[in-house]
Chain A
Amino acid sequence: MKLLKSSSLALLVSLSATWLAPAVSQAASLLNVSYDVAREFYKDVNPAFAQDWKTRTGETVTIQQSHGGSSKQVRSVIDGLAADVVTMNQALDIDALANAGLIPADWSSRLPEHSAPTTSTILFIVRKGNPKGIKDWDDLVRSGVSVVIPNPKTAGNGRYSYLAAWGYALKKNGGDQGKAREFVQKLFANVPVLDTGGRGATTTFAQRAIGDVLLTFESEVTLMLREFGSDNLEVVVPSVSILAENPVVWVDKVVKRKGTEKLAKAYLEFLYTPAVQEIAVKHHLRPRDPALLAKHSDEFKPIPMFTIEEIAGSWSEAQKVHFSDGGLFDQIYERK
């Protein structure tokens, strides 16, 4: 009995030790903490990088991936998950790392293109034949049109959709904030369900037959057409939309401790190479390379896009004004 106890105790200790001490002995390993739907993209990127690194340095590298809801992932990193690199779909989550002191505040200027090797945008997806005749943003606020958008307070999808609508209304009304407010208010009056995540909204729209139009990322739109059939759904490209940048950073505090700084930087720089830009296209993310983008213009329709900075100053400003407690999004519901 005593033996059993001590051996199980030893097992417990060793288990927790492997758990708590992040692979210190293996120098050539990276942990990429990322958002949910980037899983497949990085699954293709990682072997390509390992290959490339091997031919360049002769070292073998293993890359571990961790995926989940964006801010949940970032919270784990803040709470001590030893992520060498963090790859997200909005700068807001990376800013949280900077606020926690894990990376410098000027992280976005450390790599080209605001540290975002790929981009996406928000498009509409409607039922086959577009029975409600939805062509552009103005059609979304008509009465009798039901719009599915995930909750902007919990989903990156939702935040970009909200800000795209806001930006459209601002631009249309010459920067009149009151008009823009009225527009998003009318838009969300047409939203019957606020799913907590982007994939949840996709299910609500495609499988529960709720809503006439779904707002979501371009990458998700293409996946939906494949999954649920282009004979059920079709894409509507609005006249203007928002530029969604997918920022990447190495986590200074972690890479310094683990001695993986060079490797982490090389990994992120690799994301800008033609090879990975091609992989991005395969996963329906817009590449940064203009030539490559033009080559795939049938998939990535050229639309005028505005940035968060143009319409809201910055991500943290947008968060404060629109999505924090008591912000404009809350007021839409509380004023009723």
Chain B
Amino acid sequence: MSSRSQRSVLPGFGLTLGFTIFYLGLIVLVPLSAAFLRTFGMTWSEFVAAVASPRVLASYRVSFGASFAAASVNMGFGFLVAWVLVRYPFPGKRIVDALVDLPFALPTAVAGIALTAVYAKNGWVGQYLEPHGIKVAFSEIGVFVALTFIGLPFVVRTLQPVLEELEPELEEAAATLGAGRWQTISRVIVPQLFPALLTGFALAFARALGEYGSVVFISGNMPMRTEIAPLLIITKLEQYDYRGATAIAVVMLVASFVLLLLINLLQKWSRRYHRV
């Protein structure tokens, strides 16, 4: 690493940094500070009443719990998908590769309606699940399914370039040195991929937290059970309660920021730990 006091040989640092800060300020910070400012008009007890009523607390549990579960599952299966796409040639690979991006492109309301149609008790999948007592649409599982759907590409697209860089020779070397398949995966491959896996997880998690369009169709929106925090924000807006809505938004923002920061730190730590 080069010392920071040394002038970089690349020209244009001042201009580009200036523009970066201006751009981030305009696109990210200004809207966010508007959200914070709205809540400053509230007294502390109003703020607590808005963000800590039983119903709102229940919605945080649903939002954070389902997002965490969905991002975790995506981390596992997204890894598998990325692995297959990078390591094996097979017919139709390009189509499969393009399919991964669909959740990015599909309007989320469409995804929600489609998923609900499939998992409702008269849907393709739902008709086989409901007789066994597994209710997906209009239940907690539905929230999880929708969030898993929208989160998948984040993990796959983060892992793919890193996997492509990872040379198969490393595995061959591990094998010649007597490592078993499982050892190769757990001691050689996963440590290399861990930072990328975490990034994918963080992206999928953050995306799931903010998701509204698809979830409201499949969750059934039952208070205390399947109501997500973004829905409560909308509910408050419907009552022209701007400050209450932004109060919940601020809590969500701070919580996600802290979580993402933690994930970043974990990533940094894992990078250092595994490189030594």
Residues B138 and A210 in contact, CB atoms below 8 Å apart: yes
Give Cα A207–Cα B116 distance, bound, in whole angstroms.
10
Residues A196 and B223 in contact, CB atoms below 8 Å apart: no
Beyond A151-B221, A194-B221, A200-B217, list 10 extra A-B contacts (CB 8 Å): A71-B238, A154-B234, A192-B222, A193-B221, A194-B222, A195-B217, A208-B137, A209-B122, A326-B53, A334-B223
Residues of A within 8 A of B238 (CB): 69, 71-72, 153-154
Residues of B within 8 A of A78 (CB): 240
B172: Cβ under 8 A from any A Cβ:
no
Segment at the B interface, from A235-243, A244-252, A317-325: A317-325
Q: Give A140 Cβ to nearest chain B Cβ, in Å.
A: 18
Using known A-B contacts A151-B221, A336-B224, determine if residue A193 contacts B138 with beta carbons closer than 8 Å.
yes
Please report the number of residue pairs spanning A and B whose Cβ atoms sit closer than 8 angstroms: 82
Residues of A within 8 A of B49 (CB): 325-326
Which chain B residue has the least Cβ–Cβ distance from A156? B238
CB interface residues, A 189-225, toward B, < 8 Å:
192-196, 200, 203, 207-210
B237: Cβ under 8 A from any A Cβ:
yes
Residues of A within 8 A of B133 (CB): none
Measured CB to CB, the residues of B under 8 A from A are 49-50, 53-55, 113, 116-117, 120-123, 137-138, 216-217, 220-224, 231, 234-241, 244
Residue among B123, B137, B238 with the highest chain A CB neighbour number at 10 A: B238
CB interface residues, A 56-97, toward B, < 8 Å:
69, 71-72, 75, 78, 96
Residues A153 and B235 in contact, CB atoms below 8 Å apart: yes
Give Cα A283–Cα B75 distance, bound, in whole angstroms.
51
Q: Give B125 Cβ to nearest chain A Cβ, in Å.
A: 13
What are 25 A-B pairs with beta-carbon distances under 8 A? A69-B238, A71-B237, A71-B238, A75-B237, A75-B240, A151-B221, A154-B235, A154-B238, A192-B220, A194-B222, A200-B217, A207-B117, A208-B117, A209-B121, A209-B122, A210-B121, A210-B138, A319-B239, A325-B53, A325-B236, A325-B239, A325-B241, A330-B223, A333-B55, A333-B223
Give Cα A323–Cα B240 distance, bound, in whole angstroms.
12
Residues of A within 8 A of B244 (CB): 325
The 8 closest A-B pairs by CB, nearest first: A333-B223, A208-B120, A193-B220, A209-B122, A194-B221, A71-B238, A153-B235, A154-B238
CB interface residues, A 104-122, toward B, < 8 Å:
none
Measured CB to CB, the residues of A under 8 A from B are 69, 71-72, 75, 78, 96, 99, 151, 153-154, 192-196, 200, 203, 207-210, 319, 323-326, 330, 333-334, 336
Residues of A within 8 A of B120 (CB): 207-210
Residues of B within 8 A of A326 (CB): 49, 53
Residues B221 and A208 in contact, CB atoms below 8 Å apart: no
Give Cα A69–Cα B212 distance, bound, in whole angstroms.
15
**Majority DSSP secondary structure for residues of A touching B:** loop
Which chain B residue has the least Cβ–Cβ distance from A194? B221
Give Cα A71–Cα B239 distance, bound, in whole angstroms.
8
Residue among A194, A209, A319 with the highest chain B CB neighbour number at 10 A: A194
Residues A192 and B50 in contact, CB atoms below 8 Å apart: no
Residues of B within 8 A of A208 (CB): 116-117, 120-123, 137
B224: contacting residue among A75, A195, A203, A334, CB under 8 A? A334
Residues of A within 8 A of B222 (CB): 192-194, 333
Residues of A within 8 A of B113 (CB): 203
Residues B55 and A323 in contact, CB atoms below 8 Å apart: no
Give Cα A151–Cα B216 distance, bound, in whole angstroms.
11
Residues A196 and B221 in contact, CB atoms below 8 Å apart: yes
Residues of A within 8 A of B138 (CB): 192-193, 210
Which chain B residue has the least Cβ–Cβ distance from A332? B223
Using known A-B contacts A71-B240, A333-B55, determine if residue A196 contacts B234 with beta carbons closer than 8 Å.
yes
Give Cα A334–Cα B234 distance, bound, in whole angstroms.
19
Residues B224 and A333 in contact, CB atoms below 8 Å apart: yes
Q: Give A103 Cβ to nearest chain B Cβ, in Å.
A: 15
Residues B216 and A330 in contact, CB atoms below 8 Å apart: no
Give Cα A78–Cα B113 distance, bound, in whole angstroms.
31
Give Cα A203–Cα B220 distance, bound, in whole angstroms.
12
Which chain A residue has the least Cβ–Cβ distance from B219? A193
Q: Give A18 Cβ to nearest chain B Cβ, in Å.
A: 22
Q: Give B213 Cβ to nearest chain A Cβ, in Å.
A: 10
Residues of B within 8 A of A325 (CB): 49-50, 53, 236, 239, 241, 244
Residues B216 and A323 in contact, CB atoms below 8 Å apart: no
Give Cα A78–Cα B137 distance, bound, in whole angstroms.
36
Residue among B54, B216, B240 with the highest chain A CB neighbour number at 10 A: B240
Residues of B within 8 A of A192 (CB): 138, 220, 222
